[in-house]
Structure 1
Amino acid sequence: MHAFDILGDPVRRRILELLAEGEQSSGAVTSAIRAEFGISQPAVSQHLRVLRDSGFASVRADGARRLYAVNAAPLQEVDMWLERFRRFWNQHLDALATELARGARERRQKDQEANEEETP
């Protein structure tokens, strides 16, 4: 299965977001996903299996519990593929950063002028 087929599913993306916060038990992931998406425990297990089988998540046994974690390698491959497209949004983000800095500078100047007017 292609990486974007895996990431195209909102449930799997949300599971990865949960796992990005740190290692999670399958029970914790299942509870969160069931609450957010209203799907069954077997459906959540299937999504975890897809993530594990595709390499996006790893699992280890801790007694009777199964602990899942993000595996960064497939995400790095996605990141490398996206690299060729970054130029389309990096320029816009740079322009946004410039405008935000300009607005912050103008606010500081206005605050400074207001403080100077108040000070005798």
Structure 2
Amino acid sequence: MFVWTPRVAGVVTAVVINPCGGSNNQRWDLTDSRELESVAFPGQCLIQQGDFLFVHLDPCLNSIAQHSATQSNGLVTSDFRGCLAVLGGPNPGTFVSTRWCNADAPEQQWDNVA
């Protein structure tokens, strides 16, 4: 599964999961500055603000809250804190946030697709 977000002007919208469909709103690029940039919304990157609140899109500003790295064990780590995680089961519309990293937690496992 991949993450995506609807875009609503002036409203912070949580990033959620949906079944894989291959569309650009489910694709992300890890930039040279280590930001996860939306393919569907260039210049918009994942950001996690506050204590484990949901992640959302924000302009790519090279902020520590936007710095991420993909790990060989499937984790997506954040310089700000924690690892990218699905908050609940694999149902469509489930929020994505960060949690303390746990390589054994299935909700923190992500696939890289070329």
Please give the TM-score of this superposition, normalised by the length of structure 1: 0.24
* Greater helix share, structure number: 1
* Greater strand share, structure number: 2
Kindly name which structure, 1 or 2, has the bigger radius of gyration based on alpha carbons.
Answer: 1
Please give the TM-score of this superposition, normalised by the length of structure 2: 0.25
